[in-house]
Structure 1
Amino acid sequence: MSLPSLIAQPAELHALVDHARQTFQSRLDEAGQRDLAAWPPARHAALERVLAASDFVAEQAARDAQMLLELAASGELERSLAAGELRGQLEQALAGCASEDDLARSLRRYRNRQQARIIWRDVNRLADLAETCRDLSELADASIDQAYHWLYARQCAQSGTPIGARSGEPQHLVVLGMGKLGAFELNLSSDIDLIFAYPEGGETTGARRSLDNQEFFTRLGQKLIKALDAVTADGFVFRVDMRLRPYGSSGPLVYSFNAMEQYYQDQGRDWERYAMIKARVVAGDQASGAQLQQMLRPFVYRRYLDFSAIEALRTMKQLIQQEVRRKGMTENIKLGAGGIREVEFIAQAFQLIHGGRDLSLQQRPLLKVLATLAGQGYLPTPVVDELTAGYRFLRYLEHALQAIADRQTQMLPDGELERARVAFIMGFPGWNALLDRLAYWRGRVDFHFRQVIADPEDEAGANLAGVGDEWLPLWQNALEADAAQHQLVEAGFADGAAAWQRIEGLQHSSSVRAMQRLSRERLDAFMPRLLAAMVAHGNPDLLLERLLPLVEAVARRSAYLVLLSENPGALERLLTLCAASPWVAEQIARFPLLLDELLNEGRLYSPPGKAELTAELRERLTRIPEDDLEQQMEALRHFKLAHGLRVAASEIAGSLPLMKVSDYLTWLAEAILEQVLQLGWRQVAQRHGYPRRADGSVASEPDFIIVGYGKVGGIELGHSSDLDLVFVHSGDQQTETDGAKPIDSAQFYTRLGQRIIHLLTAQTASGALYEVDMRLRPSGVSGLLASSLAAFERYQESEAWTWEHQALVRARKLAGSDAVATQFEQIRARVLGRERDGAALRAEVGEMRAKMRDNLGSKSTLGGTAPEAFDAAATFNLKHDAGGIVDIEFMVQYAVLAWSRQYPELLRFTDNIRILEGLEQAGLIASSDVRLLQEAYKAYRAAAHRLALQKQAGSVGGDHFHEERRGVMRIWRELGLA
């Protein structure tokens, strides 16, 4: 929504404005002021408008006409304040305060001045919603902080300085601003929710009688509240609400950090998590405040998917609705249906559920959270656009209601004059037109709120009510075994006895027996619904077999059961994926956090491209402190698991063909390796400093590359593929690092390689990232972990076997220095493109292939070479048997080694499909044979992928792929490799 329109002043407000203007003018006349006559017409029009809108501004102008003139003369009515300007003005205003009465007076007069300026700019549409809220919040921050420091100095003079018993350091209060203040979203007449804390216990020193730190800060807190909240002849600064502190009004006014942490850990309630989302240090000790918020973060944001939070928010909303009805507040635009609070609940539901893992949601301002929900795919963009526009409208209306009398209200007025004023401020020709627009936005907000928060069993979700009720007796053991088995068979289970045995096995499992009451209630609500969904989906026997391990795995983290109960679409997608693939079912059972991916169908079936993958992972890691290795490793693993599932889901759904599946899985590995390299580089450099180059310069970025061989080098990764890696660097053994514990540069890069392997292979709660195979490095397992470019070239030129040169055909840089990669490519080109004896090459390649076939091929058919290899009773190993994948790979590698000296363009690509295209373009292999090899290769790999998703070995019946196998074997012979 844009700013509300400026409209002509309605006739019913003329008398009001005339009276207010005459009063203002008479005060100017009494003071002998003539400045008003010099005002430009636009400022006079703005004055008329603000006097029509706000009794508060009219009263301030009548009380202190000079104040309004000074604001006009300074230009502050027409311009935004610069950063820090407000705080600087208040500091000047408080400079001469000699007593607490002086402090109170100066704070209030400055507040009234700023309030008049802010209302003037808001009513005249010189400031948008963001500026108005920001100015109000900065006014609160400055008032609290400067009042605190003024009072602290005098309290120390009187009672001594509070000292920490453990640290021996002076202690300061930490003032947490909650709610709208914490999020820089204060409204025109908002109270401020505060919590007071101090770092540690101890007592004051420097006074005749020492005070306990608790007592010192309690007295200080009481004075601070009085300085801000007490109503005097000059009004008040801000109404202060302390009820959000631990134990509410019955608890102590201030808490030590340890007491705060203990309370939230032991007794913190769901609504307190909700409140703490927006907590911000607004005054006092900012550094210690940051430590406190870090201590409390695990309470607010759970590391696991926390879908149970939605139940707490729903309960809170129901309590609010009861209060609204009891007090007749349906016209309340904050608490009523479709009001401001519902937009806040929507945003904070996603923050509480997902914020522990998605750090982009750990922010305070509501509009930024909404934008993140759209950007990260949690909510469709059109929904977020409506919520944003509706929220802006409601907040502008809230400000219009409050601008009139500086009164904290969100209730629609019932008097004709006030209605006319509100409609005028909002830019509507009359009250009914405003009501129509308000009804539209409240309807849209309430609709979206019900989609997110509404109980699946209530009227809004009536289509789900009663789902699975027919399975309640069976699950609750109210049936005899025979009756239970009969019901299962009647519903569509092929083997009722086996199904009942599995269900009983779950009920009697140690995980279920150990469940607490709330978790057991959730399981009892979920299982009947799951059984009904399995029957409706089809093939319930298979689904029961694959899904019960997942149910058992999440039994003690029952928030996942709530997720599936709350989201029928997610449950349906889970059934579809698990029915299609036991591999997917096993992944989700091992890592239930993947259930989060099922919530958004569009995102699940639309994996991002390479650039988006890289940017998303980089952004995710930048939100984690550099020294939090555990969280970095978990973030990497969750990223891999989540995107791997999205690729598998897309493959199952048929939206990604085989070649794209491998592309995405390879891009995923590259994005992860790039970040792992950066993490490893930082960690080794912190210990040893940065390597020096031969010219004496310091390498601020790694002169190092991760080279991929095999499937990752050939852009052919599968879902469970390991990574064949080689590390190459340009470090100089004669130079040392520049740190406190220097080592030579070659040793530095070896340690970097060790660190990378650790980051990739370490087992955490989310498993390992990848299995890594380093045996293709120079000299294999006995060689150095990281080779210099010179050593790599020497080995390839003088020691490497032909099969190692074959492997080099598929080698390419995955991550690291572009400069080192360029030199590596030059070495690769020289090695692969050197002059070779054609007959000797054919013999070596053929011999190596025969050994592999003998060792790894189907024994019963002599590796697919026996005549019976084509019988239905035989098996065909897609990879290793004659005519299979390895034959094609060996032919491509042979061709590159044999002909790249004359045709260097063959070295451009590392994947078999494009190398085959190069062979065709060079006229080295007939087009028909290239098509045959490409199609056979893709068909074999597609079959292997399907088998992998079914957790089956890579073999099919001997009656499969006859034409492809015979064609591959023919071309093998024609190349002279047999």
Structure 2
Amino acid sequence: MSLPAQVPLPALLESIACRAEAALSSAFAVCEAAAVPGWGQWLDQHREALRRVAAASDFVAQQAQRDAPMFVELAVSGALEQSLSGGALRAQLQQALQGCQSEDELGRCLRRFRNRQQVRIIWRDLTRQADLIETCRDLSDLADCCIDEAYQWLYPRCCEQFGTPIGRRTGEPQHMVILGMGKLGAHELNLSSDIDLIFGYPEGGETEGVKRPLDNQEFFIRVGQKLIKALDVITVDGFVFRTDMRLRPYGSSGALVFSFNALEQYYQDQGRDWERYAMIKARVVGGDQLAGAHLLDMLRPFVYRRYLDFSAIDALRTMKQLIQQEVRRKGMAENIKLGAGGIREVEFIAQAFQLIHGGRDLSLQQRSLFTVLNTLRDQGYLQAAVTDELRDGYAFLRYAEHALQAIDDRQTQMLPDSEQDRARIAWMLGFADWAAFHDQLMHWRGRIDWHFRQVIADPDEELDTPDDETYGCEWMPLWDDMQDEEAACRQLTESGFSEPQAALQRLVGLRNGNQVRAMQRLGRERLDAFVPRLLAQAAEHDNPDLVLERVLPLIEAVARRSAYLVLLAENPGALQRLLTLCAASPWIAEQITRFPLLLDELLNEGRLFHPPLAPELAAELRERLTRIPEDDLEQQMEALRHFKLAHRLRVAASEIAGTLPLMKVSDYLTWLAEAILDQVLALAWRQTVARHGVPQRADGSLCDPDFIIVGYGKVGGIELGHGSDLDLVFIHDGDPQAETDGAKPIDGAQFFTRLGQRIIHLLTAQTNSGQLYEVDMRLRPSGASGLLVSSLGAFARYQASDAWTWEHQALVRARVLVGCKRVGQAFEAVRAEVLQRPREDEVLRREVSEMRAKMRDNLGSKATLAGTAANAFEAAQPFDLKQDAGGIVDIEFMVQYAALAWSGKHPQVLAFTDNIRILEVLEQVGLLPGEDARLLQTIYKAYRSAAHRQALQKQPGVVAGDQFQDERRAVMRIWRALGLN
């Protein structure tokens, strides 16, 4: 977004420059500028710049002639060369308003101040001292301070005349809130923009301190009228800002000012799509900032819906069509704001994503277009190449807009007809002539229009269908019940459905179901437009019956939230991915049906099939939660759950698509759990500390947090599956007796117990998005009868004196997931000490074998090694991948036995907690034959891969007995070779 280049002044403008120079010389002579210190030096240094600016901008030339002392003061003060810091404009205006005694004086001071600043801003823009961002910022700051300072001047005088408005409920004095909309709200005002305002006040009541009190609304209407007059009325000094109030509720026919409750009620009951679009950029520009922030919070649910709102695209499309009709009617094709590929199309692209996703992705709740484009790039909604083109094209158009308006301080976006003004525009944009500028302009308008069509255009317009028919229209008669049963079944059969009668019954069931019958008209129209598309795409799949069986429950579930239907209709690629994933996995179909917000994940194919790595995963969750107020626990819990659901879907989709191998699937699911546990611990710690204060260590210093979450089992072994629960143990290293330092102190033992309870609640509480994880705490010391949270010392003593062999086996797979690094290192030392202790090999083999036998008897299939070994390998017999002889648990027990038996002499065996890498170490140190170790790794992966496939098919981890026969026999052989029985 570079500044336009500077080129020599063209011949056509030289004559204008000469005339302006002569006129300005006369004006400066009359005001005796030569007597002003520094003026002569400034003029010598900037004479050429003055000629060029005067040639380009009639407004600057006229203002300098009309008020030469003003221009001279601007020049010698250095203001034309300075970038203003925040608040500088307001300070200057406050000084200018000192001593202002009447509304006429107020208007005069505001207009002269505005003209002075307008000259300064245009000068800096044309001399390339300010880029687009600075120019828009200065213009917006100018509007802000003029609006607010005028209000602050008017308010006390109105209170003297009409009384002070008092809230009926609070009994407090009331101030008006002034919302700036559009470009003002986004801090993107242009050189001659009008300002769109909405006035509000907190609550009803009456004024006090006068004989005849006014209703608060009437009081603020009078204040508002005076404020508009101060800003908008054209006098001999011009105007401050053209003020447009038509965006308020009910437009020009509505009251000028509304109470907060009335505003909320209006937008809730009658707010239209274009008003949501406008409210995205709303910002408090004057009046009571604190009350204004509260008002914007009240209105946020109207703007940003909690669900995916693809109906916004249809609304924006309708708005664009109305604009295009107006453009054609008024012959405004040359309008660089409203015409094809214009400024408005870039804004529509950004705001479409904001309206659709902003309710859930808080990073999109931004006003600045450039910030939104960056977010769309960073969050993967649009490719970087797309946002780069949109940003550069938009900047070019805004520079062109400023050039058009700099000529005569006139609000226009129309390209000029006159040769003189065309030469000015081309020169201001850094081009040698109009043709070169126009070529570049048309290039950017073409690129913007192309991107606009990709996002906003009707998908039916993009389909190359015969006679311009809508995609899927051949299915409309069937869905609309305009065919008899025989014709409908024949069409289904010809389209590849193997059970047409069942498919038809499913469709009839959907059409006549309670959900559809209860739909409102707009929702029913969306459903009627969507189902034919669904059938057309389903017919392209290998098993359309299965697709329909699994997808129709989702359609029924979201029927009354028809924005989801719009999402799928607007995004054929997302619909195609939905059908493919549902056909491949009933588990995925069930997940999306239970949590339709997951449909959002289908929009971005690259993101769907390529989940992020562990650091990116943790950073993404951290960033999401930082955008939620700390006291909004409900939204924090929902954000955590949606994050888990979304990333778990990505992993499952990647596994089905083959972009993630088995080991990486478990890695990602484990990373996901760790990222969530890290944030859950932080939330629980913050909440518990807020209530009770910080616990102490034994030395009296404060814990920070001296707490760890240890993972056992699958999460400890980095082997999580799609539906795995979490085996956790909580350990702290605080002083159990010392009290916390808060207002409601409790001892350390109680504190850490409550912290543990809070963590479990955050993980297991059922919300609209389900629970995060099922949590199993039975592996803690003394199991279900033990303390929820153990001190590090108590944990070490229990492991040394009271733990069973099977608990030491479990410890092999234990590792610190999140928490205090120091306590984590101490836990690792305890784990190593316990696992490396000398053991009598015969006793160890017997205890491991006995525990395994109990598990087989209680959890395995009946055809086990200990039972009917002869028919255990027959197809009719089930083989439990995990529990049966030769299965997963046998391999895990062998690894655990090896770690307990040999880690005392070979501590490197304990370096890892996952079975694959422990087997690798056992081979490296010669404790297992290399062939056997590698064979166990291969078999273990094969079993787990089969278990994952079963889970995605919503099947238990059981296969036919004639599968994995060689693998099972190999595991049994190695089991016996280790002396286990």
Q: TM-score, normalised by structure 1?
A: 0.99
Equivalent-residue separation in structure 2 for 1:460 and 1:237 (angstroms): 50
Is the CA contact (8 Å cut-off) linking 1:864 and 1:881 kept in structure 2? no
**Are residues 462 and 635 of structure 1, via their aligned partners in 2, closer, same or farther at CA, if it must alter by over 3 Å?**
farther
1:696 aligned residue: 700
2:16 aligned residue: 16
**Are residues 40 and 59 of structure 1, via their aligned partners in 2, closer, same or farther at CA, if it must alter by over 3 Å?**
closer
**Are residues 863 and 394 of structure 1, via their aligned partners in 2, closer, same or farther at CA, if it must alter by over 3 Å?**
farther
Is the CA contact (8 Å cut-off) linking 1:906 and 1:918 kept in structure 2? yes
Post-superposition offset of 1:906: 1.4
Equivalent-residue separation in structure 1 for 2:906 and 2:751 (angstroms): 39
Question: What 5-or-longer segments of structure 1 have no aligned partner?
Answer: none
**Deviation string, structure 1 residues 833-859 (Cα, Å, up to 9, x no partner):** 111111111110011011111111111
1:534 aligned residue: 538
**Deviation string, structure 1 residues 516-555 (Cα, Å, up to 9, x no partner):** 1111111111111111111112201111111110010110
Question: What 5-or-longer segments of structure 2 have no aligned partner?
Answer: none
Equivalent-residue separation in structure 2 for 1:537 and 1:71 (angstroms): 72
Aligned to 2:727, the other structure's residue is in SS state strand
The reply on whether 1:485 has 2:489 as its aligned counterpart is yes
1:825 aligned residue: 828
Post-superposition offset of 1:465: 4.4
Aligned to 2:620, the other structure's residue is in SS state helix
The reply on whether 1:256 has 2:259 as its aligned counterpart is yes
After superposing the two structures, state which structure 1 stretch, 101-110 or 40-49, moved more.
40-49
Equivalent-residue separation in structure 2 for 1:90 and 1:199 (angstroms): 28
Aligned to 1:186, the other structure's residue is in SS state coil
State which of 235, 248, 268 in structure 1 corresponds to 2:271. 268
After superposing the two structures, state which structure 1 stretch, 19-28 or 409-418, moved more.
19-28
Equivalent-residue separation in structure 2 for 1:426 and 1:81 (angstroms): 24
The reply on whether 1:239 has 2:242 as its aligned counterpart is yes
**Are residues 417 and 922 of structure 1, via their aligned partners in 2, closer, same or farther at CA, if it must alter by over 3 Å?**
same
The reply on whether 1:89 has 2:92 as its aligned counterpart is yes
1:857 aligned residue: 860
1:57 aligned residue: 60
**Deviation string, structure 1 residues 501-522 (Cα, Å, up to 9, x no partner):** 1111111211111111111111
Post-superposition offset of 1:861: 4.1
Is the CA contact (8 Å cut-off) linking 1:578 and 1:585 kept in structure 2? yes
State which of 604, 611, 627 in structure 1 corresponds to 2:631. 627
Equivalent-residue separation in structure 2 for 1:204 and 1:863 (angstroms): 91
Is the CA contact (8 Å cut-off) linking 2:864 and 2:885 kept in structure 1? no
Is the CA contact (8 Å cut-off) linking 1:185 and 1:365 kept in structure 2? yes
Post-superposition offset of 1:799: 1.0
The amino acid across from 2:12 in the alignment is E
**Are residues 69 and 858 of structure 1, via their aligned partners in 2, closer, same or farther at CA, if it must alter by over 3 Å?**
same
Equivalent-residue separation in structure 2 for 1:864 and 1:527 (angstroms): 54
Post-superposition offset of 1:306: 0.5
Equivalent-residue separation in structure 2 for 1:116 and 1:150 (angstroms): 25
Is the CA contact (8 Å cut-off) linking 1:506 and 1:552 kept in structure 2? yes
**Deviation string, structure 1 residues 48-94 (Cα, Å, up to 9, x no partner):** 22112100100111011222222222222122111211111111111
Which residues in structure 2 correspond to 1:448-459 (within 5 Å)?
448-458=451-461
2:550 aligned residue: 546
Equivalent-residue separation in structure 2 for 1:457 and 1:896 (angstroms): 63
Is the CA contact (8 Å cut-off) linking 2:537 and 2:576 kept in structure 1? yes
Post-superposition offset of 1:958: 2.0
Equivalent-residue separation in structure 2 for 1:860 and 1:724 (angstroms): 29
The amino acid across from 1:656 in the alignment is L
1:358 aligned residue: 361
Equivalent-residue separation in structure 1 for 2:442 and 2:867 (angstroms): 74
Is the CA contact (8 Å cut-off) linking 2:180 and 2:285 kept in structure 1? yes
The reply on whether 1:216 has 2:219 as its aligned counterpart is yes
The reply on whether 1:710 has 2:718 as its aligned counterpart is no
Equivalent-residue separation in structure 2 for 1:298 and 1:695 (angstroms): 50
1:918 aligned residue: 921
The amino acid across from 2:2 in the alignment is S
Is the CA contact (8 Å cut-off) linking 1:708 and 1:725 kept in structure 2? yes
Which residues in structure 2 correspond to 1:104-123 (within 5 Å)?
104-123=107-126
Which residues in structure 2 correspond to 1:678-827 (within 5 Å)?
678-699=682-703, 701-827=704-830
**Are residues 705 and 432 of structure 1, via their aligned partners in 2, closer, same or farther at CA, if it must alter by over 3 Å?**
same
Equivalent-residue separation in structure 2 for 1:36 and 1:15 (angstroms): 25
State which of 579, 591, 605 in structure 2 corresponds to 1:601. 605
Is the CA contact (8 Å cut-off) linking 1:858 and 1:864 kept in structure 2? no
Equivalent-residue separation in structure 2 for 1:535 and 1:154 (angstroms): 73
Aligned to 1:434, the other structure's residue is in SS state helix
The reply on whether 1:152 has 2:152 as its aligned counterpart is no
2:471 aligned residue: 467
Equivalent-residue separation in structure 2 for 1:81 and 1:869 (angstroms): 84
2:144 aligned residue: 141
Is the CA contact (8 Å cut-off) linking 1:864 and 1:876 kept in structure 2? no
1:476 aligned residue: 480
Post-superposition offset of 1:208: 2.9
Post-superposition offset of 1:36: 4.2
Is the CA contact (8 Å cut-off) linking 1:864 and 1:882 kept in structure 2? no
Instruction: Give the total of aligned pairs.
Output: 977
Equivalent-residue separation in structure 1 for 2:164 and 2:741 (angstroms): 44
Equivalent-residue separation in structure 2 for 1:473 and 1:38 (angstroms): 84
Equivalent-residue separation in structure 2 for 1:31 and 1:344 (angstroms): 46
Is the CA contact (8 Å cut-off) linking 1:733 and 1:745 kept in structure 2? yes
Equivalent-residue separation in structure 2 for 1:528 and 1:538 (angstroms): 18
**Are residues 309 and 462 of structure 1, via their aligned partners in 2, closer, same or farther at CA, if it must alter by over 3 Å?**
farther
1:511 aligned residue: 515
**Are residues 415 and 864 of structure 1, via their aligned partners in 2, closer, same or farther at CA, if it must alter by over 3 Å?**
farther
**Deviation string, structure 1 residues 644-668 (Cα, Å, up to 9, x no partner):** 1111111111010000000000000
The reply on whether 1:673 has 2:685 as its aligned counterpart is no
State which of 428, 444, 450 in structure 2 corresponds to 1:447. 450
Equivalent-residue separation in structure 2 for 1:494 and 1:971 (angstroms): 48
**Deviation string, structure 1 residues 765-813 (Cα, Å, up to 9, x no partner):** 1111111111111111111111111111111111111101111111111
Which residues in structure 2 correspond to 1:537-576 (within 5 Å)?
537-576=541-580
1:226 aligned residue: 229
Post-superposition offset of 1:454: 0.5
**Are residues 490 and 428 of structure 1, via their aligned partners in 2, closer, same or farther at CA, if it must alter by over 3 Å?**
same
Is the CA contact (8 Å cut-off) linking 2:497 and 2:544 kept in structure 1? yes
Equivalent-residue separation in structure 1 for 2:887 and 2:195 (angstroms): 72
**Deviation string, structure 1 residues 871-893 (Cα, Å, up to 9, x no partner):** 23322211111111101100111
Post-superposition offset of 1:922: 1.3
Equivalent-residue separation in structure 2 for 1:821 and 1:349 (angstroms): 47
Post-superposition offset of 1:762: 0.8
**Deviation string, structure 1 residues 536-582 (Cα, Å, up to 9, x no partner):** 12201111111110010110001111111111111111111111111
**Deviation string, structure 1 residues 357-379 (Cα, Å, up to 9, x no partner):** 00000000001101111111111
Equivalent-residue separation in structure 1 for 2:498 and 2:604 (angstroms): 32
Aligned to 1:868, the other structure's residue is in SS state coil
**Are residues 946 and 437 of structure 1, via their aligned partners in 2, closer, same or farther at CA, if it must alter by over 3 Å?**
same
Aligned to 1:870, the other structure's residue is in SS state coil
Is the CA contact (8 Å cut-off) linking 1:543 and 1:579 kept in structure 2? yes
Post-superposition offset of 1:99: 1.1
After superposing the two structures, state which structure 1 stretch, 41-50 or 386-395, moved more.
41-50
The amino acid across from 1:973 in the alignment is R
C-alpha RMSD of matched pairs (Å): 1.3
2:426 aligned residue: 423
The reply on whether 1:645 has 2:646 as its aligned counterpart is no
**Deviation string, structure 1 residues 666-702 (Cα, Å, up to 9, x no partner):** 0000000111111111111221122122222233x32
State which of 173, 185, 190 in structure 2 corresponds to 1:187. 190
**Are residues 671 and 299 of structure 1, via their aligned partners in 2, closer, same or farther at CA, if it must alter by over 3 Å?**
same
Which residues in structure 2 correspond to 1:249-328 (within 5 Å)?
249-328=252-331
Identity between Structure 1 and Structure 2 (%): 73
Equivalent-residue separation in structure 2 for 1:120 and 1:683 (angstroms): 54
Is the CA contact (8 Å cut-off) linking 1:737 and 1:744 kept in structure 2? yes
2:106 aligned residue: 103
1:636 aligned residue: 640
